[in-house]
């Protein structure tokens, strides 16, 4: 994005903003005071000082922003760790819940087996409350006694085997429960530690983002102040063109100047788009700026567009090999030297008897906005110097 004609014509706003990291103490240097009354020549130092502040604030904001981005990536990594361990916790919890359910199931199996085999057989086989003599006495015959003994022995073996197997399973489940509880506890403690780490990291990210925003605010405030100074400078240029009778507008087109709102849109007073996508016109100036238009008009006159002549008020020095003077002539460049960057126009007519001339120009903001074409009649005393072609 290129600045208007009263800014450095060969540098873009992007180039001037944030190319190096400036120390914190320099970044918060006290802004220059703005007074109500100042000479036009004072604009140069004021705008330059403000620009240095803008560059410092922008550089610091970019450096802190990069630091915040790094911290955010670290925070994202912590969040990923938390997600992974939470998945492990959920899995372990599910395993724990299953173990508890299995333990309850085995306990019920033990109870159901005891009920199924009957209290009497269980008492006979395990507690041994009935003696062999009593069993013989209660039998019908020897064969019945043997059957009872065989049945009792078989039931006792089956009961013992079933209960022992279930008890072993229960013991295994109890051991698994303890192991799962320990694992779950370790995982939860690891999650708590990561939560604390995440909270600290998030606070650091928030603080760093806050510092970045603070520098961005300082940059924006200073940039607005700079634009105010630039606007005041443009007002001084308009005042110069109001000498000895003021400005009268003359109709007509820009003659085919190649840059317009379609390929070089203005962002306030700044050029965007253009030949390089950043407001440049390809000749070393900002598109739709006064220097660009004047250089293009010279090219229309001579067949060669002069490149990189600098700011408008540098044209007389860059073109020192050309005839120059203080009296206007048709096909000359009129230069206003006031301010940081000055202003240039293309003179289309010789002065009339009263000293008035017709000039065409870009970016003389008479209230219609920045980057516009205009053709006006003004007194030749408006301009400090003329470069003849």
**The domain that contains 387 carries what CATH number?**
3.90.1720.10
CA-based nearest residue to 314, from 343, 293, 346, 347: 343
Q: For residue 357, what pLDDT is reported?
A: 96
What distance in Å separates the CA atoms of residue 351 and residue 379, rounded to the nearest whole number? 8
Look at residue 274 in the predicted model and tell me its pLDDT. 95
DSSP 286: B
How many Å apart are CA 274 and CA 282, to the nearest integer?
8
Total number of domains in the chain: 2
Per-residue pLDDT at 12: 37
Mean pLDDT per 10-residue run, the chain (389 residues)? 47 36 35 35 59 76 80 80 81 82 80 64 48 56 60 66 76 82 82 81 80 77 72 72 84 94 88 91 95 97 96 94 97 89 94 96 86 94 96
Residues 277 and 379 in one domain: yes
Query: For 118-137, where are the alpha helices, taking DSSP H only?
Result: 119-122, 132-137
Assess if residue 3 is contained within a domain: no
Would you state the torsion angle of the CA atoms of residues 293, 297, 299, 301, taken in this order, to the nearest 10 degrees? Answer: 180
Confirm whether 188 is domain-assigned. yes
Question: What SS3 class is residue 114?
Answer: helix
CB-based contacts of 200, cutoff 8 Å, min separation 6 = none
Q: β-strands 273-274, 278-280: how paired?
A: parallel
Q: For helices 142-240 and 43-117, give the axis angle rounded to 10 degrees.
A: 170
Task: Give yes or no: residues 203 and 63 share one domain.
Answer: yes
Q: Assess whether 271 and 250 both reside in one domain.
A: yes
Residue where a domain terminates, one of 225, 240, 255 = 240
pLDDT given at position 27 = 37
CB–CB of 161/153 below 8 Å? no
- Rounded CA separation 279/13 (Å): 9
**What letter does residue 380 receive in the DSSP assignment?**
G
Out of 240, 271, 305, a domain closes at 240
Would you state the pLDDT for residue 151? Answer: 62
Looking at the fold, whether 314 and 354 belong to one and the same domain comes out as yes
pLDDT, residue 29, reads: 36
């Amino acid at each position: 994005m290129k600045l208007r004609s009263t800014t450095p014509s060969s540098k873009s706003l992007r180039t001037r903003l944030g190319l190096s990291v400036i120390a914190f103490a320099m970044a918060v240097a006290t802004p220059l005071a703005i007074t109500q009354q100042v000479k036009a020549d004072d604009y140069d130092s004021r705008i330059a000082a403000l620009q240095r502040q803008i560059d410092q604030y922008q550089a610091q904001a970019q450096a802190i922003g990069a630091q915040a981005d790094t911290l955010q990536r670290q925070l994202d990594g912590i969040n990923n760790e938390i997600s992974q361990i939470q998945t492990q916790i959920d899995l372990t919890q599910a395993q724990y819940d299953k173990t508890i359910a299995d333990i309850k199931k085995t306990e019920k199996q033990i109870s159901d087996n005891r009920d199924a085999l009957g209290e009497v057989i269980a008492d006979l086989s395990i507690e041994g409350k009935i003696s062999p003599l009593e069993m013989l006495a209660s039998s019908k015959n020897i064969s019945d006694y043997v059957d009872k003994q065989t049945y009792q022995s078989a039931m006792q073996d089956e009961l013992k085997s079933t209960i022992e197997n279930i008890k072993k399973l229960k013991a295994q489940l109890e051991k698994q429960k303890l192991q799962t509880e320990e694992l779950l506890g370790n995982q939860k403690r690891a999650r708590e530690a990561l939560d604390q780490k995440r909270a600290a990291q998030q606070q650091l990210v928030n603080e760093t983002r806050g510092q970045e925003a603070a520098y961005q605010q300082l940059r924006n405030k200073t940039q607005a102040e700079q634009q105010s100074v630039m606007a005041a400078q443009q007002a001084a240029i308009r005042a110069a063109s109001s000498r000895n009778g003021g400005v009268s507008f003359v109709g007509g087109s820009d003659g085919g100047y190649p840059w317009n709102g379609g390929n070089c849109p203005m962002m306030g007073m700044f050029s965007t788009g253009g030949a390089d996508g950043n407001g440049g016109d390809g000749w070393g100036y900002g598109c739709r700026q006064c220097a660009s238009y004047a250089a293009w008009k010279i090219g229309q006159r001579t067949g060669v567009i002069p490149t990189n002549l600098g700011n408008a008020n540098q044209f007389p020095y860059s073109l020192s090999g050309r005839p120059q003077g203080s009296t206007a002539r048709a096909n000359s460049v009129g230069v206003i030297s006031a301010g940081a960057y000055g202003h240039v126009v293309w003179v289309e007519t010789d002065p009339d008897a009263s000293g008035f001339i017709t000039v065409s120009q870009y970016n003389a903001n008479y209230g219609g906005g920045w980057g516009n074409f205009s053709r006006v009649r003004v007194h030749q005393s408006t301009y400090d110097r003329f470069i003849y072609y």
